[in-house]
Chains A and B, each alone.
Chain A
Amino acid sequence: MPGKTQPQSEMLKGTLDMMILRTLVSGDAHGHTIAKVIEHTSENLLEVEQGSLYPALHRLEDRKWVSSYWGASENNRKAKFYRLTAEGRKQLARETSRWRQMTRAIGLVMGEEGGAQ
């Protein structure tokens, strides 16, 4: 992915996939919803750009971590919905634990009490 398309509020490399998977835990969603949910839950700190969202979704689909089907959106438009697969759930668990370790380690280095939870 060329560096120019990185979003303003820069996301850590590899975390978008994890966040997409996490979003899908609460139910199937199409691209727009996924982006919105991530933005809302991050209190609008993170902004998901289409330039990374759609390639990421297709990548996850290729790796069989999500499956997709066509359905109708809230506004009754034809939309491609993504669903977390069993394999994707396992991947999410792996990535979450790795993420936890990583943030704790970084927290320790940066001198926060007990590291980030």
Chain B
Amino acid sequence: MSWLRFLRRKRKDAELQAEIETYLSEEIAGNLARGMSEEEARRRARVKLGNSQQVRESLWVQNSPMPLTNLGRDLKYAFRTLRRTPGFSVIAVAVMTLCMGAAISLFTIVRSVLLRPLPFKDPGRLVVVYEHRRGNAPANSYTQVAPADFYDWRAKTHGFEDMAIIRYAGYNLTGERNELPESVRAAAGSWNLFQLLGVTPAFGRAFSEPEDRPGSTAVMLSWSVFQRRFAGDPAIVGHQIHLDGRPFTVIGVLPSWFAYPDAGIQLWRPYQADATPEFLQHHDFHQSQVIARLRPSVSLASALEEVGAVQYQLHLQYPHDPVAEDVTSGSLNEDLAGNVKKPLNLMMSAVGCMLLIGCLNVSNLLVARGAARQKEVAIRSALGARRATLIREQLAESVLICGAGCVGGISLSVLSTRLLAQAWKDLPTAQDIYIDGPVIAFASILMITAALVAGLLPALSTTGKAMMNALHASARTGAGSVSRTVLRKILLTAEIGITVVLLVSAGLLLKSFLRLRSEDVGCITQNMLTLQYNLPGKKYDTPEKQNAFNEALLERVRNMPGVRGAALGNTVPGAGYWGDFVFTVQEHPPRKAGEERPEGLMRWADPGYFNALGIPLVSGRFFTNDERGTRAYKVIVNRQLVRKYFGEEDPIGKHLNVPAYPHAGTPGIADYEIVGVVGDTLYQVGKDPKAALYFPMLAGTSSQTLAVHTASAPLSFSVPVQRQIASLDPELPVSRVRTMDEVIGASLVNASLSARLVLAFAILSLLLAAVGLYGVLSYLAAQRTTELGIRMALGAQRDQLLRLMLGDGMRPALLGLGLGLAVSVVATRLFQSMLFGTKPLDPVVLSCVVGTLFAVAILACLIPAWRASRLDPMQALRTD
């Protein structure tokens, strides 16, 4: 009830005053009744009452909880003290604002991406289930799920309430009334997906079980496409839209908040709708994700065990298919976060270091201030102030600084979080990124911790027994503050040490990024324009029609002025993984049990593909125009495939059997004959080259990437090339028009972002450390003014003094440098896997860091040291 009392104490006081009034008048009345004169009655009553002010005060105290009153007083006092030194206060608050802002921003992202459950019904019981190959090196590695495996899991296990499966797809969306064609990203989900997630459509309904079958024409719209293309008119439900030129029926619209698995998904189709029977029955199409809802009474471990047992049976049943032995699970968040998690953690650590440096810096400044208040504190403790009270009072200052920093940091992070989230391309978009309650709670905890870290040490150092010395220490001895100077040097050493760790980390990330940038992709990347299109299945339903369009386009583009070459394939180097095929070499003996199945990236290429992209021919030949349709049973492999699966053997003329891509060719020829070997290209920068299989594009493919090698700025060709496409088929949408540099750059964006951010943190920390160094040395010089004066009077040369002071400042710097390097050795191992072609102890990076730190330290020390050496000895001797 003390809070109530506290809040009501003003009213209570008023009541008490009225009561005292009553008492007085009653007493006077009583006295008058006893026959006293008016004046006497009044006087007696007053005497009897005594000091009414004291009564009020004692009630006031009784109604005020002690700690709260003290806190209020301490904060008020600290505020006044801080206001007296605005320079210090502004710097300290600015430092904390920057550090807290960065920390809160990153935590906001971490929380949104990794910690906040997705907005589904009872998200705690939702998990993602993957296949897991036991042989794979890392224990937590996982493989996407093949639908055939999924259907067995769902039918044969009972640990999960339900399981749903999804995969990505893509369509060309065309209108009924000649609207612009548009290529949209879509996802396919089993009919029970939305029910399992607990998502109710905004309009219409979700898929029904009978709709989840091959050939189904049901489609659900995302809110964004519903608003954008259909003007948010609910009447679209039940009507038709055209995908790839075929009609589909809209059965429902998803709510606006639904952005799973990412915000780019525009349409949903039933899982089986576009699937071939092979896709659903074979166990080697690992392209899907399985989401499962755990039964309330079942533990995740036992539910997984059951699924794992089914999977192991499948593994034994299909020894020749790539069926994993086991399953594993993960949270929905982590599944979406994917490869963002590691950089996020790294950046969180970097920000933590920066915050620590910020705290140490404020701490350092507070220690220096403590010196100025030394006498005051000594007198007060001599008069009986308890040490705890004095410490609390000093802590109040750092609480105020950190509190202001926290408020500033939150406002700063409102701005910076958005910028950061936009710059970070891999960030999952299923969750909005915003500051919420737990983030504020985190900020408050951070603030209190920071206040303790920054305030406790100075408070402890300026109070206590030793402080009594301050009273009898004359200012002239200049020795009273040795311990405090030592403390400041220790703080500084720690600060510099952490800065070195940050600098080393930033240097490594930066070098690794530069290495990535300069990596040879294995083909021409300059002056290369790429774009994608997808020939709709209705209009281009035969390989002949597809080839006719593709060849006509190639012909036209190659004849455009300023075009050096054009290549057509399913993708270009550096653009990503794009799937793979397992195969067997017909001429090789059958695979032994347990031996790894040969696999290679799946690529399609037109006859001029390799020439236009500048991929060298190692042996054999390229495809010819004759290898088309049913005669396209040739294959070109890359050097990596030869190295891995043929060794010294000549691969030309050998035959590959590719079960997942049986060619519809001449009867009797079941396999693909290797006709050529080409140089290796990287499918993604930073990854080792993989074995690859190139099939003739003229076998008839619908999904294409066109690469155009131009003589001048490639982007200026984008409109003319698109015009060529439009002249061939005005309804065909074109997507992802990018230069090759952009294609490769896209995979580097995140490496560049982490390198740049950590570098920014490191530079800020370096700046803070330099300010700290400068501050300590200036303080030291001021302390030693008299001593320096005496030295000069005794004949010390100015450069001797300069050296003396420099040495004083450089010692903690060098010590910190050594410590920091030692810690870096351990710390950098933690993010080794994020580095590319850079050793954790890269000599170039290390020497750069040492050099930079050394230079900055000398610079920071030189100014106060130089100033100290320029002292006028007479002036120095006279001071204080």
Chain A residues close to B by CB (< 8 Å): 1-2, 5, 30-33, 35-36, 49-51, 54-55, 58-59, 62, 73-75, 77-80
Contacts and interface: CB of A to CB of B under 8 A. Distances in A.
B55 A54 contact: yes
A43 B794 CA distance: 87
A74 B25 CA distance: 11
Given A50-B49, A50-B55, A31 B22 contact: yes
B602 interface: no
B19 A51 contact: no
A32 B29 CA distance: 11
B65 to A, nearest CB: 13
Contacts of B62: 55, 58-59
A32 B27 contact: yes
8 tightest A-B CB contacts, nearest first: A32-B26, A79-B22, A32-B23, A75-B29, A50-B55, A55-B59, A80-B19, A51-B55
Contacts of B1: 62
A53 to B, nearest CB: 8
A62 to B, nearest CB: 6
27 contacts: A1-B58, A30-B19, A31-B19, A32-B23, A32-B26, A32-B27, A35-B23, A50-B20, A50-B55, A51-B50, A51-B51, A51-B54, A54-B19, A54-B55, A54-B59, A55-B55, A55-B62, A58-B62, A58-B63, A59-B62, A73-B22, A75-B26, A75-B29, A77-B22, A77-B26, A78-B22, A79-B19
B18 interface: yes
B26 A54 contact: no
Contacts of B25: 75, 77
- Chain B interface mostly: helix
Contact of B50 (A2, A36, A50, A77): A50
B52 interface: yes
Interface in B1-45: 1, 5, 12, 15-16, 18-23, 25-27, 29-30
A62 B29 CA distance: 30
A36 to B, nearest CB: 8
A36 B50 CA distance: 16
Nearest to A50: B55
Contact of B5 (A33, A35, A49, A62): A62
Q: How large is the interface on B (under 10, 10 to 19, 20 to 34, 35 or more residues)?
A: 20 to 34
Contacts of B30: 36
Nearest to A5: B54
A51 B26 contact: no
A54 B20 contact: yes
Contacts of B54: 5, 51
Nearest to B21: A77
B405 to A, nearest CB: 39
A36 B18 CA distance: 18
Contacts of B51: 51
A5 B696 CA distance: 105
A78 B59 CA distance: 21
Nearest to A64: B1
Interface in B688-721: none
The listed residue with most A CB atoms (<10 A of its CB), out of B27, B50, B54, B58, is B58
B53 to A, nearest CB: 10
A51 B22 contact: no
Contacts of B12: 58
A40 B477 CA distance: 71
Given A58-B59, A74-B29, 15 more contacts: A31-B22, A32-B22, A32-B26, A33-B26, A35-B23, A49-B50, A50-B52, A54-B20, A54-B55, A54-B59, A55-B55, A58-B62, A62-B5, A77-B25, A79-B19
Nearest to B16: A54
Contact of B15 (A51, A59, A80): A80
The listed residue with most A CB atoms (<10 A of its CB), out of B1, B19, B27, is B19
A19 to B, nearest CB: 17
A84 to B, nearest CB: 18
A30 B22 contact: yes
A55 B58 contact: yes
Contacts of B19: 30-31, 54, 79-80
The listed residue with most A CB atoms (<10 A of its CB), out of B15, B23, B25, B62, is B23
A109 to B, nearest CB: 34
Nearest to B12: A58
The listed residue with most B CB atoms (<10 A of its CB), out of A2, A32, A36, is A32
Contacts of A50: 20, 23, 49-50, 52, 55
B18 A78 contact: yes
A2 B51 CA distance: 14
Contact of A5 (B18, B21, B58): B58
A83 B55 CA distance: 22
Interface string B61-76: 0110000000000000
B249 to A, nearest CB: 70
A105 to B, nearest CB: 31
Contacts of B20: 50, 54
A30 B27 CA distance: 13
The listed residue with most B CB atoms (<10 A of its CB), out of A1, A50, A51, A78, is A50
Contacts of B26: 30, 32-33, 73-75, 77, 79
Nearest to B26: A32
A80 B23 contact: no
